[in-house]
Amino acid sequence: MSSDMQAINSFNAVLQSLYDVKPPISKTKMTSITRVALKAVKLYKHAVQSVEKFIQMCKAEYKIPGLYVIDSIIRQSRHQFGAEKDVFGPRFARNIQNTFVHVYCCPEEDKAKVIRVLNLWQKNRIFSPEVIQPLFDLADPQNPIWEQIQNSNPELGLGGAASGGNNNVNSGGNSGSGGGASGRTIIVRDFLPPT
């Protein structure tokens, strides 16, 4: 197994370890997750997809820790590599609205934390206004965008892990293991809380 794949496997393991503690997640834990993610920078697409899948499949109380993982990875990547060489932010931006649909399935009392993160992103210009404004719009449960989302994606299952659906997600891209492998499979059960 290549060292890059080992880094991704380590990242997936440390991401899943969020389930070992009840929220709120400690700064030490968040730093550990971020450090491992940045070690997997060569396979950043896999790391981003793992976080997105975690947020999609986790229970409601882990939505905010998942958002904090995104925030921590992006901010540390921008700090370490510079905003122009950050690969995580643009990759998260590609699917950010869908990710935030799942983030907003957090407990009602946590929604102010989502707005706080968005305000920080706006202030620090992490994403363009065109990317951030729809995320603010999602905060309003009466916004027509929710009806559009539900109508266009009834299988979305906005209830987190209870959504059912496909348990295997092809992440695409080259796994880095040679031999012509066209991708790798993430098993969703890896991101479900222990029962």
Structural domains of the chain in order of their starting residue, each with its CATH number = 3-191 (1.25.40.90)
Is this structure's pTM higher than 0.85? Answer: no
Residues 90, 33: Cα–Cα separation, whole Å: 19
Nearest to 19 by CA among 59, 52, 72: 59
Low-confidence ranges of the chain (pLDDT < 70): 1, 154-195
Q: Say what the alpha-carbon torsion angle 8, 66, 122, 76 is, to the nearest 10 degrees.
A: -40
- Note the pLDDT of residue 157: 52
- Note the pLDDT of residue 4: 83
